Amino acid sequence: MTNTDTDTKNAAEQTEELEDTGTQQLYASRVVLTTYPSQLGIDPIELNWGAASANQRGPVVVSRQNDSFGRRNAIGAGGGSYCIYRALAVAIGALTPAHRPDFRLTEPTHSIGPFPAWSDPEKIVSMDPWGHAIVEHYSEMLDQGIDIRPTIAITQAHMKLAEIDDAIEKGILNRDGDVVTKNGELKVVKVASEPVWYLPGVAKRFGINEATLRRALFEDTGGMYPELITRPDLKVFLPPIGGLTVYIFGNPEHIPDPSKRLTMRVHDECNGSDVFGSDICTCKPYLIYSIEECAREAQNGGVGVVVYFRKEGRALGEVTKYLVYNARKRQEGGDTAANYFKRTEFVAGVKDMRFQALMPDILHWLGVKRIDRFISMSNMKYEAIVDSGIEIVERVSIPEERMPADSKVEIEAKIADGYFTSGEVPTKEALKATKGRNWDEIAH
């Protein structure tokens, strides 16, 4: 017997041992690593991306529960990045694998759409436009035992922020009882959305072929989803990544109304700044400024929207971001704007992985046709939105007085790289002269 045969036998014995010691208590069948289009028992529910109505389109079914396994028409797992925590809950016995949600009383608090883009297979390719309305449109299938899960939820809330209290004190906002309560809280409609990718559309958006996209997704997730390779008939993929949240200030019905002004910010997550106030970047000041401006627009009769994407550290992740911080502060000559992107490329191999091509989908889902004031300096976001057919009337940069001192390196480097500014673009000499704090100044 060869070493390879021995290894294969040992792996098989280990798998049987694992199953004999507990998995059969959770799962009624043997492990199914993957499926194939012509396999016995595989009969996916028809899914026509871009169809004119929810019923013509069909539900997205990704569950591996017994009643749904053979009817699955999508690859991946529901819940975005939280699917792993669900698996852990099942493994430790906190959740049964067969759990089915009770959707009573969970319906959206506000009605949004449908809009023409919902039925355009090229306008929306990274989210399910009907993901909030599965009970409304697919209740019969739910009653038949098909496990269909929402990928969008719509609710309403109040926001209480110290910065908004300051804005009220300064007269930027007023307690009108409509947008801002008498207690100084912001009224907001919130939309949470998990990623649902229509693979042919995603590939086309990035100018690559679908087979290349599938192979890369398979390889760089450690082979997590073999059906990306074995099921070319399944065109929808639910990736295990973070989603987005929309915050609407004012009446959501005003968003598609051309007679109403719309102020908007598209913001990518920055935990260090947004939550904990790190002053090495402009993320939190820009976010707070956009919330103020969106609320002010709503108080003036328009509507404001902040879209918050889970793309920490330019989608490179927080570990990579901190490694780059260290390299920036330790490099010869100090932390300069001239070398801002270079350090990121040395660590990550690329300066930015947010790739904004998919970002406008949520705007089309909301019915956006025109943005009167776009609170962003990003050229990538601007170009992606305009290229998708949405007009941007005015671009608004962060006011100078709101920039933290140590963030000058970031903002000057970005302006030199193409970010919008109403001021001057820094020269090469100016970039070299723009320096952040060194380690001595932030030593602990």
At 210, the amino acid letter reads E
Please list, in sequence order, all residues whose beta carbon lies within 8 angstroms of the beta carbon of residue 376, skipping any fewer than 6 positions away: 265, 266, 382, 395, 396, 420
Given the residues 57, 354, 373, 395, the one annotated as active site: 354
Distance (Å, rounded) from C-alpha 264 to C-alpha 297?
A: 10
295 in Cβ contact with 373 (< 8 Å) = no
Distance (Å, rounded) from C-alpha 353 to C-alpha 317?
A: 10
Distance (Å, rounded) from C-alpha 20 to C-alpha 187?
A: 54
Could you tell me where the DSSP H helices lie in 42-108?
A: 54-57, 83-91
Distance (Å, rounded) from C-alpha 373 to C-alpha 260?
A: 12
Round the CA-based radius of gyration of the chain to a whole number and report it: 24
Which secondary-structure segment (H or E) carries 267? strand 262-268
Given the residues 352, 361, 373, 395, the one annotated as active site: 352
For the CA atoms of 181, 184, 187, 190, the dihedral, rounded to the nearest 10 degrees, stands at -160
For the CA atoms of 416, 422, 424, 425, the dihedral, rounded to the nearest 10 degrees, stands at 10
Catalytic residue flag (residue 205): no
Catalytic residue flag (residue 370): no
Catalytically annotated residues: 352, 354
